[in-house]
Amino acid sequence: MEDEKMEEPVTKNQHVVPYEGKWGVRAQKSEIPSKLFESKILATAYAFEIADNNDGMVIIHNEDGTFKEVKKTENSSKLITSLKA
């Protein structure tokens, strides 16, 4: 019987992280953001777009890199509105 290779699942969860003086969005298993933004609000909105399309969650970090909150994508519009306040 041949060894079957298991494919890794698509990374669903997106992290909003501080990166080199900006805010980045990175996949769960990635160390480097795929995109950078001037503000946390814009980074969070982008993270929700990606997570919404992949049925994932958004993990928002503080400026020091620690976890702030985890949000499911079903409430993304409410969260983005609250971040602007």
pLDDT bin (cut points 50, 70, 90) of residue 1 is very low
2 domain residue, yes or no: no
53 domain residue, yes or no: yes
Inform me whether the pLDDT recorded for 81 exceeds 80: no
DSSP SS3 for 42: helix
Q: Please report the pLDDT score of residue 74 as a whole number.
A: 62
Q: Please report the pLDDT score of residue 85 as a whole number.
A: 43
42 domain residue, yes or no: yes
pLDDT in tens, 12-71: 899 999 999 999 999 988 999 999 999 999 999 999 999 888 888 999 999 988 888 777
54 domain residue, yes or no: yes
7 domain residue, yes or no: no
Domain extent at residue 40: 14-84
User: What is the domain count for the chain?
Assistant: 1
Q: What is the pTM of this model?
A: 0.72
For 4, 24, 33, 79, the CA distances from 65, given in Å and listed in that order, are 38, 11, 13, 20
8 domain residue, yes or no: no
For 3, 6, 27, 45, 67, the CA distances from 37, given in Å and listed in that order, are 43, 34, 15, 10, 19
Q: Which residues contact 45 (CB under 8 A, 6 or more apart)?
A: 80
